[in-house]
Amino acid sequence: MKPIKEKKERALGMKLFVKAERCSSPKCATIRKPYRPGMHGQKRRRAMSDYGRQLQEKQKVQLLYGLKNNQVRLMFKKHSSSEIFSILERRLDRVVYYLGFAGSPRVARQMISHGHILVNGRKVTIPSYGVTIGDTIAIRQESRQRKLFEGIAERLKQKETPPWLKLNHEKLEGECLAIPDATGIQLPFDISLVGEFYSR
């Protein structure tokens, strides 16, 4: 049986990097089988309706950020599109992934939940924790010897971080320099369609 999350990626028709190194290798499910899962996956499909496109974009947000439908609905009810992007990107699991401490957001969520990540010197176990300007994010000293972080110092030397984050390779520590915005960024989902889905 194929992993459920990989099936969802194929159903949505794009890489969302829910797995770690596998998504960047030829073993990636969307490369090996670039069609929808199921026995009829390779058949030509009818044009998608407006509702279908809205639903698909909503599902991308859920899968990419590991959110439930109710969490996404409340977010779009309370915030504007630009605010939502900032809230999502400043989640601690996203920041840990962007800094290169984890190979995927999913792995980052596990690291945080297991107590391997510090924010401003304190252990934070909530993946949705919102990082703010001036916050420092680091791997807990006691956790650095675990196999999970084996060879991380070398990997981080080739890591490129977003301009709103700063990475200190030697200290295995990152800092939030600014609030991210969607200007000039190619998002893997259409945030306006997600808004339309919840405004119906």
Residue 35 has pLDDT above 50, yes or no: yes
Boundaries of domain holding 140: 91-176
Residue 70 CA to residue 62 CA, distance in Å, equals 10
**Average confidence (pLDDT) over 91-102:** 95
Kindly state whether residue 182 falls inside one of the protein's structural domains.
no
- The 8-class DSSP code of residue 160 comes to -
Distance (Å) of CA 135 to CA 1, 92, 122: 42, 11, 11
Give yes or no: residues 140 and 104 share one domain. yes
> Span 174-200, mean pLDDT?
85
| Highest mean pLDDT (candidates 5-9, 13-17, 33-37, 151-155) | 151-155
The SS3 call for residue 167 is: strand
Number of structural domains found in the chain: 2
Query: Given this model, what pLDDT does residue 105 score?
Result: 87
CA distances from 108 to 22, 66, 162 (A): 15, 11, 17
Mean pLDDT of 41-57: 78
Range of lowest pLDDT (77-91, 134-148, 186-200): 186-200
pLDDT at 62 exceeding the cut of 50: yes
> CATH number of the domain that 98 lies in?
3.10.290.10
pLDDT for res 190: 87
Q: Is 104 within a domain?
A: yes
